[in-house]
Amino acid sequence: MRDIHHNIKTVQTLDPAMTTAARAGAPLDRQGFEAVEHIVLFGASGDTLSSTLKTDVKLEASEDGTSWSPVTDSRLTSGVPVSTAGVFATVDAAAKAQMAYRIGYVGNARYSRVSLVLTGTHASGTPVAALALLTKANVKPVT
């Protein structure tokens, strides 16, 4: 099938919620798929973001869905630099909120997830949600 609808699977990995503390997304099992794109959506922050009041977004991978390690550049398709801690986006200003951040994973680990690491006291919080697009399915059409 040539259409995109029958060639991808979408999974909500981080429930939409006002975020005031660190959060880890649900483990994404990519069995049956060769690639995944994680998308993290930020709304307008209720706090004044800065270098001391920020949210780091990182990607982690796991062979078993329980022991997690940061994903390095060699297993990503984003084209953006990633820290050794797996951070691929830092939301530390109002201009960086109300955006979508995405990163592609093509490593060998079966599971991956997005985690949010907050620095400072986020009193009001920021609405954040995440989803994943699974692609290159071994069996098509994807339902």
Q: Where are the domains of the chain?
A: 5-137
pLDDT at 2 > cutoff 80: no
Which tokens sit at 109?
């680990």
Segment 98-128, tens digit of pLDDT: 999 999 998 899 999 999 999 999 999 999 9
Give the architecture (CATH level 2) of 5-137: Sandwich (2.60)
Q: What is the pLDDT of residue 18?
A: 97
Which tokens sit at 64?
């078993």
Q: What is the pLDDT of residue 73?
A: 73
Q: What is the pLDDT of residue 1?
A: 56
Task: Please return the burial class of 66, using the count of CB atoms within 10 Å of its CB with bins 0-12, 13-18 and 19+.
Answer: exposed
Segment 48-96, tens digit of pLDDT: 999 999 999 999 999 999 999 999 877 777 777 888 899 999 999 999 9
* 126, 40 Cβ separation under 8 angstroms: no
Which tokens sit at 121?
């006291």
Q: Output the pTM of the full model.
A: 0.92
